[in-house]
Structures are given as C-alpha cells and as structure tokens.
Structure 1
Amino acid sequence: DAFRGELGAVQNRFESTIRNLSAVSESLTAANSRIRDADFAAETANLSKNQVLQQAGISVLAQANALPQQVLSLLQG
C-alpha cells in the first residue's frame, strides 16, 4: 500500500507539472501573437508613411522639372 501511495503521489506531481507547463505554453503563444500583431501594425503604418513621402517626392520632382521650362517661356515671351 505504501508503494501505491508513493506512486500515486508521483503521478499527481507529474500531472500538476503537465498542467503548469501547458498554461505556460498557452501564455507564451498568446504573448508571441500579441508581439507579431504589434509588429505588423507598426510595419503597416511605416509603409503608409513611406508611400505618402514617395508621392510627395514625386510631386516636388515634377514641379522642379517644370520650372526650367517656365523660366524659358518667360524669357522668350
């Protein structure tokens, strides 16, 4: 009976350890998901910002390219 009691206690400790490790695993998975979601949101915001900056740069470049033509027209006119 003593051996069975010890064996049962060991089995209970193993089951408790398994439950604890399962909870830790779930917590890590949830934390990993939150980190990945946060990174995705930040990268999406950076992409939008860079697209706006690119469009602004193209617009400024187009205006700069048109300026010599306008000056030439004024000088000829």
Structure 2
Amino acid sequence: MKTTLSTGASDVRSSAVSSQTTANSAIGLLDEGIKAVNTQRATFGAASNRLEHAVDNMTNIQNNAEASRSRIEDTDYAETTSELAKAQIIAQAGTAMLAQANQSSQSVLSLLR
C-alpha cells in the first residue's frame, strides 16, 4: 500500500501571519493537513486491525491443527492392538472352521466310495 500525503505544508510555511486573513488562511491549511493525517491514520489503523485479525485467525488454525494431530498421535495403542488381535483371531477361527467343514465333506465322500 503506497500512500502519498500532500498537505500543502509548503503553503503554510510561506504564509505570513501578519494579518488576521492570512492567519485564518494558514489555520485552514493546517486544519486540512490534520484532516488528511487523521484520514491516513484511520486507513492504516483499519489495515492494522485486519492484519491482527488475520494473525489471530492463523494462530487459531495452527493451534487446532496441532491439537488434532496430538489426538491422532495419542491414540490408545493398547486398545488398537487388542482390537487387531481380536480381528485376527476371529479370521483364523473362521478359516479353521471352513477347513474342518471341507475336511468333513471329503471324509463323507471317501466313505461313500
């Protein structure tokens, strides 16, 4: 953001305040300069507030991501391991039952021959 602020300061410097009219003119120029400075301060203040909000938002996003990662990493490994073992035992038992059922049918066929 590039800002150029021209307040007519050179006009104020060259103004003589020897009469009420020129003094009032100089005061008017100073008032315009003050208004311009205040406008720029408001513009920069608004930009600063937006940047601070963006920083706060990014900080919250980072904190939430770290908390999520921590929850994922802190999974109860004992529970997960026992669930895996249970699933493997059930699969092995199913395989054994199929093998026995297959063996029984082959035994019946061999008796019939």
TM superposition score category, shorter chain reference: 0.7 to 0.9
Using structure 2 for the length normalisation, give the TM-score: 0.54
Matched with 2:4 is: none
**Which has the higher relative contact order, 1 or 2, with Cα contacts under 8 A spaced 6 or more apart?**
2
The Cα offsets for residues 35-75 of structure 1, whole Å up to 9 and x where unpaired, read as: 11000000101111111111110000011110633564368
Report the secondary structure of 2:24's partner residue: helix
Match of 1:10 among 7, 19, 23: 19
| Matched residue, 2:35 | 26
Matched residues, percent identical? Answer: 16
**CA separation in 1, counterparts of 2:74 and 2:59?**
22
Q: TM-score normalised to the size of structure 1?
A: 0.76
Matched pairs, number: 69
* Partner AA of 1:20 in structure 2: L
| 2:11 corresponding residue in structure 1 | none
Q: How large is the RMSD of aligned CA atoms in angstroms? A: 2.0
Partner residue in 2 for 1:46:
55
Query: Relative to structure 2, which stretch is displaced further, 67-76 or 50-59?
Result: 67-76
- In 2, Cα distance between the equivalents of 1:36 and 1:46? 15
Query: 2:42 and 2:77 mapped to 1: Cα distance?
Result: 54
Q: Structure 2: how far apart are the matches of 1:69 and 1:45?
A: 41
Bigger CA radius of gyration: 2
Unaligned runs of 5+ residues in structure 1 are 1-8
Aligned AA (2:39): A
